[in-house]
């Protein structure tokens, strides 16, 4: 196939994915993560401070390798408990790019934790967000698409605020959380415009449990369900094993969408590196220009007193 035609086909797939029918950014979803179990604060503000010390994480995701304009996500977050009164705070930056669109979120998280038992902790969280949206219609000029889109002015740094909330419960072995990171369903353009971009409310349910199979091996199944109006229910199921408190390996399944392989390594008690690879099982996964998706996460915990650390947190 001619390279120019091949590139056009790949780009058109992205245009259809981004703009959908009716030239509308509708049913817009939050950034997608395979290693959500290590990046919980991005979807639930109540997680802020729950690790008991300052924690910093950086994540990079490149989806649908080989497809021009495919989704890319960069995430940076830090969170920490404040004092001894159950208060946690965090900040994060999430940049999500799909074709000619780019979205950046600047988030501030606040949580308050109460003790429900000797080991149980129940946290309530609030999130405040500043959202910046860019759409570069000028990048579409060379493609044969609807001329109304080509005549649109580029959108640069269009600002909209948002709020979110969540609740999170955990013990040493179990955790569960329910959250809505973006509550306001903001419409970025007038309904009379050629195209509209509207944020949709995403509801997350996350849970997991840690079993000690023997003194050297731990097993942790996890579940993440994401519900959003106008899109199918998304369910991620994963099973991870930790060997000798150092090496983590597992598999994951995104319902009717992808299989994933996960690998993690605890460089030290403070430092963790994780890698995930997704392989699509949809029609898009069978194309010659989709080589799967990769995701890398780096996390560092500023642990003040290693002598009091019985074992590394698995979540």
pLDDT for 3: 46
Look at residue 27 and tell me if it is in a domain: no
Q: Are 248 and 254 in contact (CB under 8 A)?
A: no
Question: Residue 305 — very low, low, confident or very high, per pLDDT cuts 50/70/90?
Answer: confident
Look at residue 5 and tell me if it is in a domain: no
Look at residue 311 and tell me if it is in a domain: no
Which tokens belong to 66? 């080989």
- 272-280 own/partner pairs: CB under 8 Å, 24+ apart: 272/38, 272/297, 272/298, 272/299, 272/300, 272/301, 273/297, 273/298, 273/299, 274/35, 274/38, 274/248, 274/298, 274/299, 276/34, 276/35, 276/252, 278/34, 278/63, 278/254, 280/64
Residue partners of 283: CB distance under 8 A and separation at least 6 = none
Q: Which whole number is the average pLDDT over 83-100? A: 90
pLDDT for 101: 86
Q: Tell me how far apart the alpha carbons of residues 85 and 252 are, in angstroms, rounded to a whole number.
A: 37
- If one counts every other C-beta atom within 10 angstroms of the C-beta of residue 121, the result is 18
Q: Tell me how far apart the alpha carbons of residues 148 and 146 are, in angstroms, rounded to a whole number.
A: 5
Q: Which whole number is the average pLDDT over 150-155? A: 64
Which tokens belong to 82? 């404040």
Look at residue 184 and tell me if it is in a domain: yes
Q: Tell me how far apart the alpha carbons of residues 73 and 42 are, in angstroms, rounded to a whole number.
A: 12
Look at residue 279 and tell me if it is in a domain: yes
pLDDT in tens, 193-202: 555 566 778 9
CA distances for 79 relative to 40, 68, 171, 215, angstroms = 11, 34, 19, 31
Decide if pLDDT at 277 tops 80.
Answer: yes
pLDDT for 191: 45
Look at residue 21 and tell me if it is in a domain: no
Decide if pLDDT at 110 tops 90.
Answer: yes
pTM given for the model = 0.85
pLDDT in tens, 214-249: 999 999 999 999 998 778 889 999 999 999 999 999
Q: Tell me how far apart the alpha carbons of residues 284 and 262 are, in angstroms, rounded to a whole number.
A: 22
Pairing label, strands 24-28, 196-199 = parallel
Look at residue 138 and tell me if it is in a domain: yes
- If one counts every other C-beta atom within 10 angstroms of the C-beta of residue 197, the result is 22
Look at residue 208 and tell me if it is in a domain: yes
**Mean pLDDT (the chain, rounded):** 84
Q: Which whole number is the average pLDDT over 266-270? A: 93
pLDDT for 261: 98
Residue 42 or residue 290, greater confidence: 42
The mean-pLDDT minimum among 28-42, 97-111, 169-183 falls in 28-42
Q: Tell me how far apart the alpha carbons of residues 223 and 234 are, in angstroms, rounded to a whole number.
A: 11
- For residue 226, the SS3 value is strand
Residues recorded for the chain: 315
Identify the CA nearest to 123 among candidates 78, 168, 73. Answer: 168
Q: What is the CA radius of gyration of the chain?
A: 21
Residue 268 is part of which domain span? 39-301
Residue 240 or residue 133, greater confidence: 240
pLDDT for 153: 67
Q: Tell me how far apart the alpha carbons of residues 253 and 238 are, in angstroms, rounded to a whole number.
A: 6
DSSP state for residue 187 in the 8-state scheme: B
Decide if pLDDT at 157 tops 80.
Answer: no
Q: Are 46 and 167 in contact (CB under 8 A)?
A: yes
- The torsion region of residue 311 among left (phi > 0), alpha (psi -120 to 50) and beta comes to beta
How would you label 33-55 residue by residue, b for 16+ Cβ within 10 Å and e otherwise?
Answer: bbbbbbbbbbbbbbbbbbbbebb
In CATH, what number is assigned to the domain containing residue 128?
A: 2.40.160.60
- If one counts every other C-beta atom within 10 angstroms of the C-beta of residue 21, the result is 7
Q: Which whole number is the average pLDDT over 72-85? A: 92
Q: How many domains does the chain have?
A: 1
pLDDT for 80: 96
Q: Which whole number is the average pLDDT over 186-213? A: 76
Q: Are 39 and 51 in contact (CB under 8 A)?
A: no
């Amino acid at each position: 196939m001619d390279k120019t035609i091949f590139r056009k086909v790949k780009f058109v797939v992205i245009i259809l994915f981004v703009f959908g029918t009716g030239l509308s950014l509708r049913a817009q979803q939050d950034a997608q993560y395979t290693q959500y179990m290590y990046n919980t604060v991005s979807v639930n503000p109540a997680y802020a401070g729950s690790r008991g010390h300052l924690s910093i994480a950086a994540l990079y995701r490149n989806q649908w390798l080989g497809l021009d304009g495919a989704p890319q996500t960069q995430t940076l977050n830090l969170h920490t408990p404040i004092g001894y009164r159950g208060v946690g705070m965090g900040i994060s930056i999430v940049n999500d790019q799909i074709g000619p669109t780019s979205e950046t979120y600047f988030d501030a998280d606040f949580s308050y934790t109460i003790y429900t038992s000797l080991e149980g902790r129940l946290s309530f969280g609030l999130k405040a967000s500043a959202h910046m949206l860019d759409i570069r219609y000028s990048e579409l000029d060379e493609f044969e698409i609807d001329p109304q889109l080509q005549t649109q002015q580029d959108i640069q740094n269009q600002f909209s605020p948002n709020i979110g909330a969540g609740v999170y419960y955990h013990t040493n072995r179990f955790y569960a959380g329910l959250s809505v990171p973006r509550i306001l369903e903001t419409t970025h353009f007038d309904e009379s415009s050629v195209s509209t971009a509207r944020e949709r409310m995403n509801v997350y349910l996350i849970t997991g449990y840690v079993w000690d199979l023997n003194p050297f091996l731990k097993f942790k199944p996890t579940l993440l369900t994401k519900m959003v109006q106008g899109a199918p229910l998304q369910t991620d199921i994963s099973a991870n094993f930790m060997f000798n408190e150092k090496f983590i390996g597992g598999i994951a399944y995104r319902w009717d969408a992808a299989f994933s392989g996960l690998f993690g390594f605890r460089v030290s008690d403070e430092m963790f590196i994780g890698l995930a690879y997704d392989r699509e099982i949809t029609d898009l996964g069978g194309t010659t220009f989709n080589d799967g998706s990769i995701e890398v996460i780096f996390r560092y915990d500023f642990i003040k007193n290693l002598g009091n650390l019985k074992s590394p947190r698995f979540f």
